[in-house]
Amino acid sequence: MISVIHGKKTSSIDKLKINEHYKKVIVDLGCGDGKQTYRFAFDHPENFYIGIDANFKGLEEVSRKARKKPVKGGLPNIIFIHGVAESLPQELDSLADEIQINFPWGSLLEGFINLDDDIWKNIRMVAKNGAALKVITTYDDKFEQDFREERSLPELSIKYFEGDFREKLLSYGVKINEVRIITEEEKSEISSPWGKKILSSRDRDVFVLNATIVK
């Protein structure tokens, strides 16, 4: 079942009905407080957005706003779901034309970097054949050395992503097309409070990974 967030409440549904007129269905996995997802949906009414996060309370405000009348900020092209990447609802199978993971942290970051089997199988499950995957991620020993060592995370670099990481992702049907460090212009476009907080430590590399998921 899908647990849909409506302010302080949730409702369970067994099927997500998405109007066929939308150009793309975009899943924002680990969407945090959902404000950036909301902004994307506002800026791109041609797409349908699904924000998913394990922190129910963090999505109370934005999920309530999204359900209001359009004149009060409501949007018909967005929904927020309570869930974790390790066990997403099967009802989301093959829905996403695109999956975004922006500044993952905690177990999502650990599972992404260390190739947790459950997380990557769920990412693949949600994707349509040929779906795009875009991940923006960072951590740096100048700021997060204890965090990295506690979770047995490798030091991030282009070389890391283009080595065994790339080869192992192929077993999940994920083909990396590009790994690079984002530009200062791209950093300025980050609107999520969490992303901005991380980027306040300016002397760090932020990596973007673009991939295609084949099923």
Q: What is the tens place of the pLDDT at every residue in 29-81?
A: 999 999 999 999 999 999 999 999 999 999 999 999 999 999 999 999 999 99
**Length of the chain (residues):** 215
Backbone phi, psi, residue 173, to 5°: 75, 20
Closest to 136 (Cα-Cα) out of 40, 25, 43, 30 = 30
Task: Give yes or no for a contact between 132 and 212, defined as CB atoms under 8 angstroms apart.
Answer: yes
Percentage of the residues of the chain whose pLDDT score is greater than 70: 100
Check if the beta carbon of residue 113 is closer than 8 Å to that of residue 153: yes
Confidence grade of residue 156 (pLDDT, cut at 50, 70, 90): very high
- Give residue 184's pLDDT band: very low, low, confident or very high (50, 70, 90): confident
Looking at residue 203, its pLDDT comes to 83
Q: Which domains does the chain have, with CATH numbers?
A: 2-213 (3.40.50.150)
- Cα–Cα dist 36/18, whole Å: 21
Does the pLDDT at position 202 exceed 80?
A: no
Q: How confident is the model at residue 177 (pLDDT cuts 50, 70, 90)?
A: very high
